Chains A and B, each alone.
Chain A
Amino acid sequence: MDQEIKHLPVGDKALLVEFGNSINLQINQKVRNLDSLISQSALEGILECVPTYCSLLIYYDPLRISFDQLVSQLRDLEERMSEVNFPGPETVIEVPVIYGGEYGPDLDSLARYHNLLEEEVIQLHSGKKYTVFMIGFIAGFPYLGEVDDRIVTPRLATPRLRVPAGSVGIADRQTGIYPFESPGGWRIIGRTRIRLFDSGKSPPSLMKPGDIVTFRPIGEEEFELDSK
């Protein structure tokens, strides 16, 4: 059954297209499909689109297109979505991670929470392919899903004031990587040296929604090597 697509005003210059209200690949795929259809069709008056888990926020210029006009054009595109063949994910990004110890201060407690060994958590976390659902929170931060049921873990009750750049964390069914040092409440299980955001590059973010991400456990030596 196809859920009804909602079009909602968000302030005086944005429109939200909502495809559903759950985290799943099918809905997220629709978000990405509409996003790419919009960029291909060069709709008049569109300023910027922000794809997230189950919705697409579209910034527009009300001088060039009205809310109602935009809704009707979007409806046309949405109808075409089922007929268009969208290319599958092309980009697979491997992220080398050093798990546990000082780099993953929550690995031990997360393992105990689930009655698992640290090695098992590492195996479960690195044994899956993840899809980038969205980039958000801070520049270049990928929301990846979904982790194995056995390591689904709630956020920390009290967020840390400083999470180091490169930290790999788990929050509920999601896993993610902090591109910069920042406050944060995700449970940190490891760290990578991979550079997720470079303001000098175009695009500046290493990952984009729809990309496939894998984690590869590494040791101290390779981690130190990556820093050079």
Chain B
Amino acid sequence: MTKIMKLCKVVKPGIFTTVQDLGRHGYQRYGVPTSGAMDSFAFVTANLLVGNEPADAGLEITLVGPELTLLDDTQIAITGANLSPTINGCPVAQWQTLQVCKTDVLSFGRLKSGCRTYLAVRGGIAVPIVMNSRSTYIYGKFGGFQGRQLRTGDIIKAYDSPTSKSRLIMPSRLIPQYASELTVEVVSGPQLTYFTQLGIETFFSSSYAATPEFDRIGYRLDGPEIEKGNLSAMISDAVPVGAVQVPSNGKPIVVMRDAQTTGGYPKIAIVTTPCVSRLGQVKPNDRVKFSEISLSNAQKRLIEYGAALSQIKRNLVELA
């Protein structure tokens, strides 16, 4: 059995901080969404920077960071959205291994880019495995830290892992920039016939703004209405992560990792797997455009993305 240590005490929880890993797979038939880190690229990188496996559990921090008091010496890494992290009030760098000591205070400041910050700790966050995953599923109240977001006073634990002297950094050319305007690639959806030609053109030629409804379930976007035809209501079917659904108001909703597994809104398109991760860094008022690619090109990108994830480790550079 791996030993478990007390990692930190939550002084302030931030607005929405949860334990996540790379998701809970194989249970959608029971109505259980996959959950998992919204931005898997930043999440995996954080883990690799502290010598963890890609899928070890870490913290996902949203827009406003927590304040944590360390209860032991260890190594951490912070990736994803730039939330101006500090240790004992001194700014520290993201995308590299950080040595931290017992009683250090880790806190966050102003959001400079992106939406979600990842905090990995050497050994990984210690929470029980529920259905093959440590990810929090808020609506089912299970997984992660007691099935909920972190609160003031929580004591977070980690698996004890022998300390390493080695410190790593992600080369700056490989650090993603989270511009507030982006184009995501999509494959056209299975219910295209529910939309008029005009509706489809509107969708692909318009820019949509992220609204304040942007949680782990999905992004409600605002912009030109997508026209639907006269087909009657569709029968609910399975909804994958990345599906762009169009409810009766004609404004698209992009389904994310905690979404319900079935639904009855027609899907005009499905965002590709790599672009779903990038969408995880979209915040309210960012603008999104959709660009169609063929299935074969989408699958090429998916395979390249998998390769890129497995390359990260080799690309990390030892800090002097």
Say whether A16 faces chain B, with CB atoms less than 8 Å apart: yes
Whether the pair A180, B140 counts as a contact (CB closer than 8 A) is yes
Whether the pair A199, B130 counts as a contact (CB closer than 8 A) is yes
Whether the pair B30, A11 counts as a contact (CB closer than 8 A) is no
Say whether A140 faces chain B, with CB atoms less than 8 Å apart: yes
Residues of B within 8 A of A141 (CB): 31
B249: min CB distance to chain A, Å: 14
Bound CA span A146–B306, Å: 44
Whether the pair A11, B139 counts as a contact (CB closer than 8 A) is no
The answer to whether A12 and B295 touch (CB under 8 A), given A53-B237, A62-B303, A136-B261, is: yes
Residues of A within 8 A of B234 (CB): 21
Whether the pair B190, A10 counts as a contact (CB closer than 8 A) is yes
Whether the pair B272, A21 counts as a contact (CB closer than 8 A) is no
Whether the pair A11, B31 counts as a contact (CB closer than 8 A) is no
Residues of A within 8 A of B247 (CB): none
In the complex, which of the residues A11, A138, A179, A197 contacts B271, with contact meaning CB atoms closer than 8 Å?
A11
Residues of B within 8 A of A62 (CB): 299, 302-303
Say whether B301 faces chain A, with CB atoms less than 8 Å apart: yes
Bound CA span A141–B260, Å: 10
Task: For chain A, residues 202 to 224, give those with C-beta under 8 angstroms from any C-beta of chain B.
Answer: 203-205, 208-209
Most buried by B among A10, A53, A140, A200: A10
A213: min CB distance to chain B, Å: 15
Whether the pair B32, A204 counts as a contact (CB closer than 8 A) is yes
Residues of B within 8 A of A143 (CB): 236
Say whether A182 faces chain B, with CB atoms less than 8 Å apart: yes
B152: min CB distance to chain A, Å: 24
Main secondary structure of the interface of B (DSSP, over half): mixed
Residues of B within 8 A of A137 (CB): 31, 260-263
Residues of A within 8 A of B267 (CB): 10
Residues of B within 8 A of A10 (CB): 187, 189-190, 240, 243, 267, 270
Whether the pair B302, A49 counts as a contact (CB closer than 8 A) is no
Whether the pair A136, B31 counts as a contact (CB closer than 8 A) is yes
Most buried by A among B189, B236, B299, B306: B236
Q: Mark B190-209, 1 if CB is under 8 A from A, else 0.
A: 10000000000000000000
Bound CA span A200–B235, Å: 31
Say whether B94 faces chain A, with CB atoms less than 8 Å apart: no
In the complex, which of the residues A21, A138, A179 contacts B235, with contact meaning CB atoms closer than 8 Å?
A21
Whether the pair A139, B243 counts as a contact (CB closer than 8 A) is no
Say whether B3 faces chain A, with CB atoms less than 8 Å apart: no
Say whether A50 faces chain B, with CB atoms less than 8 Å apart: yes
Residues of B within 8 A of A226 (CB): none
Whether the pair B303, A63 counts as a contact (CB closer than 8 A) is yes
The answer to whether A199 and B302 touch (CB under 8 A), given A53-B237, A135-B29, is: no
The answer to whether A11 and B243 touch (CB under 8 A), given A47-B25, A52-B237, is: yes
Residues of A within 8 A of B153 (CB): none
Whether the pair A49, B29 counts as a contact (CB closer than 8 A) is yes
Residues of A within 8 A of B299 (CB): 12-13, 62, 66-67
Bound CA span A50–B31, Å: 9
Closest 5 CB pairs of A and B: A136-B262, A11-B270, A57-B238, A50-B238, A205-B30
Residues of B participating in the A interface, judged by any CB pair closer than 8 Å: 25-32, 130-131, 137, 139-143, 187, 189-190, 234-238, 240, 242-243, 260-263, 267, 270-273, 295, 298-299, 301-303, 306
Additional A-B contacts beyond A52-B238, A200-B130 (9; CB < 8 A): A10-B270, A11-B240, A11-B243, A12-B301, A16-B237, A18-B190, A50-B238, A135-B31, A208-B29
13 A-B residue pairs with Cβ-Cβ distance under 8 Å, sorted by A, are A10-B270, A14-B270, A16-B190, A18-B190, A23-B235, A50-B261, A63-B303, A136-B236, A138-B31, A200-B130, A203-B30, A204-B30, A205-B31
